[in-house]
Chains A and B, each alone.
Chain A
Amino acid sequence: MGNILEIKNLVVNFYTYEGVVKALNDVSFSVDHGSTFGLVGESGCGKSVTARAIMRIIQEPGRIESGQVILYPETVDGNGSVDLLKQSEAYMEDLRGNQISMIFQEPNAALNPIMSIGDQVAESFLFHQKQILCETILSELSDGQHRPSKAVLMCLKTIYGKAADDGDSFFFKLLGSVPFLRNWDRRLKSVAIRRAVSLIGKLGIPQPERIVNLYPHNLSGGMKQRIVIAIGLASNPLLLIADEATSNLDVTIQAQILELLKILKKDGISSILLITHDLGVVAETCDRVGVMYAGNICEIADVREVFEAPLHPYTRALLKSVPKINQDDRLASIPGNVPNLVNPPSGCRFHPRCMAALPICRHEAPALVNAHGRHLVACHNSSVA
Chain B
Amino acid sequence: MYSQNKILELRNLKKYYPVYGGVLRRVKNHVKALDGIDLDIYRGECVGVVGESGCGKTTASKAIVRLHTPTAGRILFHRNGRDDGESITDISRLKRGALKRKGIREKLQMVFQDPSTSLNPRMLVKHIITEPLREYTDLSSREMENRVVELLNMVGLSKTHLMRYPHEFSGGQRQRIAVARAIASHPEFLVLDEPTSALDVSVQAQILNLLLSLRDKFNLTYLFVTHHLLVVKYISTRIVVMYLGKIVEMSGTKDLFATPFHPYTFALLSGIPIPGSEQRMKRIVLSGDVPNPLNPPRGCRFHTRCPFAFKQCGDEEPGLEEIAPGHFSACHLKSRSRQKVRDKFGNGM
Task: Spell out A's residues near B (CB within 8 Å).
Answer: 42-43, 204, 206, 220, 222-223, 250-256, 258-259, 277-284, 303-304, 307-308, 317-319, 321-327, 330-335, 337-338
Contact = CB atoms under 8 A, between A and B. Distances in A.
B278 A324 contact: yes
The 7 closest A-B pairs by CB, nearest first: A280-B273, A333-B205, A255-B271, A279-B275, A334-B202, A323-B234, A321-B205
Contact of B276 (A251, A277, A324, A335): A324
A351 B286 CA distance: 44
B163 interface: no
A318 B277 contact: no
29 contacts: A42-B200, A204-B287, A206-B288, A220-B289, A250-B53, A251-B227, A252-B52, A254-B273, A255-B286, A256-B286, A277-B200, A279-B201, A281-B273, A284-B273, A284-B280, A303-B277, A307-B275, A319-B276, A323-B208, A323-B231, A324-B278, A325-B272, A330-B209, A331-B205, A331-B209, A331-B234, A333-B203, A338-B200, A338-B203
Contacts of A335: 206
B280 to A, nearest CB: 8
Nearest to B203: A337
Contacts of A250: 52-53, 227, 290
B274 interface: yes
Q: Which of A281, A322, A334 has the most CB of B within 10 A?
A: A322
Interface string B229-272: 11101100000000000000000000001000000000110111
Interface of B: 52-53, 170, 172-173, 200-206, 208-209, 212, 227, 229-231, 233-234, 257, 267-268, 270-278, 280, 283, 285-290
A43 B200 contact: yes
Contacts, number: 132
Given A206-B288, A325-B278, A327-B234, A251 B201 contact: no
Contacts of B209: 330-331, 333
Contacts of A324: 230, 274-276, 278
B108 to A, nearest CB: 27
Contacts of B227: 250-251
Given A250-B52, A253-B289, A331-B209, A319 B271 contact: no
Contacts of A258: 273
Nearest to B257: A325
Given A319-B276, A337-B170, 14 more contacts: A252-B267, A252-B285, A252-B286, A253-B289, A255-B271, A281-B273, A284-B274, A307-B276, A318-B201, A321-B201, A324-B276, A331-B205, A331-B234, A337-B203
Contact of B277 (A252, A283, A330, A332): A283
B285 A259 contact: yes
B106 to A, nearest CB: 30
B52 A251 contact: yes
Contacts of B230: 280, 322-325, 327
A283 B274 contact: yes
B201 to A, nearest CB: 5
A196 B289 CA distance: 21
A318 B201 CA distance: 7
Contact of B268 (A252, A283, A337): A252
B170 A338 contact: yes
Q: Which of B212, B274, B275 has the most CB of A within 10 A?
A: B275
A254 B270 CA distance: 11
A274 to B, nearest CB: 12
B287 A206 contact: yes
Contacts of A204: 285, 287
A62 B272 CA distance: 36
Given A255-B285, A283-B275, A331 B208 contact: yes
Contact of A280 (B212, B267, B274, B289): B274
B290 to A, nearest CB: 7
Contact of B233 (A43, A251, A323): A323
B275 A319 contact: yes
Contact of B275 (A220, A280, A304, A330): A280
B231 A251 contact: no
A284 to B, nearest CB: 5
B273 A283 contact: yes
B270 A255 contact: yes
Contacts of B286: 252, 255-256
A323 B278 CA distance: 13
Contacts of A284: 273-274, 280
Contacts of A337: 170, 172-173, 203
Contacts of B272: 251, 280, 325
A309 to B, nearest CB: 10
A169 to B, nearest CB: 44
B285 A322 contact: no
